[in-house]
Amino acid sequence: MPWQQCCRSTIDTVLFTLGPFHIYAYGFMLSWGYAAAVVLALRETRRRGWSPELMLDYLICVFIAGLLMARILFVLGELPYFLAFPEELLSISNGLSGFGAIIGFGLVTAWALRRYDWDYRHLADILAAPLAIGVAITSVGTSRVGRATNVLWAVVSDGQGFQPLGAYQAIGFYLTFVIVWSLRWRIQFPGQMGLITVFCLGLTRFVVGFFAKEYLLFNSSQLVGILAMALVILIIRETDIGESAGYMEHYKALGPSKAPWYRRIRWIWGLLLLLSIYYLRALSR
For the chain, the domains span 3-50+118-283
Instruction: Report the distance separating Cα 262 and Cα 144, nearest Å.
Output: 34
Question: Looking at residue 71, what is its pLDDT?
Answer: 86
C-alpha distances (whole Å) from 29 to each of 33, 119, 141, 175, 285 are 6, 31, 5, 18, 17
Number of H helices, E strands in the chain: 12, 4
From first to last of the 285 residues of the chain, give the pLDDT tens digit.
443 333 334 566 766 666 676 677 888 888 899 999 999 999 999 988 899 999 999 999 999 998 889 888 888 888 888 888 777 777 666 677 878 888 999 999 999 999 999 999 999 999 999 999 999 999 998 888 888 899 999 988 777 889 999 999 999 999 999 999 988 877 888 899 999 999 999 999 999 988 987 655 677 778 888 999 999 999 888 777 655 555 666 555 445 556 665 566 788 999 999 999 998 887 765
CA gap 137, 200 in Å, rounded: 16
pLDDT at 8: 37
pLDDT of residue 3: 36
Please check whether residue 82 is in contact with residue 88, taking contact to mean a CB–CB distance below 8 angstroms: yes
Please state the separation of Cα 103 from the chain's center in Å: 15
Count of CB atoms situated within 10 Å of the CB of 53: 10
> Among 278, 37, 59, which residue's Cα sits nearest to residue 180?
37
Q: Give the model's pLDDT for residue 7.
A: 37
